[in-house]
Structure 1
Amino acid sequence: MAEVLVVALSPVGHFAPLLNVARGLVDRGDRVTVLSGEGRVDEIETIGATAAVLPKRADLDLASLGDNSGRGQLDGIKRLNFDIVRLFVAPMPHQAAELAKLLAQRRYDAIVADFGFTGVLPLLLGHPSARPPVLLFSTTPLLLSSCDVAPAGMGLPPSSTALGRLRNRALNLLAQRVLLRACQKAANYQLHQLNCRQLPTFLFDAGVLADRLIAPTVPDFDYPRSDLPANVRYVGAVHPIPTREFRFPTWWSKLDSDRPVIHVTQGSVDNEDFDRLLRPTIEALADENVTVVATTGRQTRLGFDVPSNACVAEHIPHDLLLPKVDVVVTNGGYGCVQRALAAGVPLVVAGSTEDKPEVAARVAWSGAGIDLKTGNPTARAVRTAVREVLGDGRYQRRARKLEVAYAQRCGIAEIAALIDEVVAERAAVSP
Structure 2
Amino acid sequence: MAFLEPVVKVKGRSMKLSDPRNVFSAYGDTIYPSRNSCSSDDSQCFNEFNERDSSERALRLDNGSATQVVPVSMDAILAEECQSALRGGSDSSRHKESSRNNLQNIPMLDGVNQTRHYPSRITRIRGSVLNPSTNFIHAPDLGKPELDTLMLDNLSNDETTSPSSMSALDSSEFLLPVARSLPHSQSHETPEAAVPSLTYINSPNAADFLTVPCIPLTTHIRMCFCGELFSYDLNHLKSDPREIIELMKWAGSERGNWMMVGASYRRQGNPHAAIAVLQSMLEVMTRHGMSERELKPAFLLLSGCEFDLSKLTQDEGRIALEHQQRARKWLQKVYGATKSQSDNIDVVAPSTDPQLGLPARPSFPSHSDAQNLRREMQSLRDRLSHQVRLLADVRSAKRKIEGSYNLERHTRRRLEREIKDLKAERCEARRM
TM range (shorter): under 0.3
Q: Which has the larger radius of gyration?
A: 2
Q: Which protein, 1 or 2, shows the higher relative CO under an 8 Å CA cutoff with sep ≥ 6?
A: 1
TM superposition score normalised by structure 1: 0.18
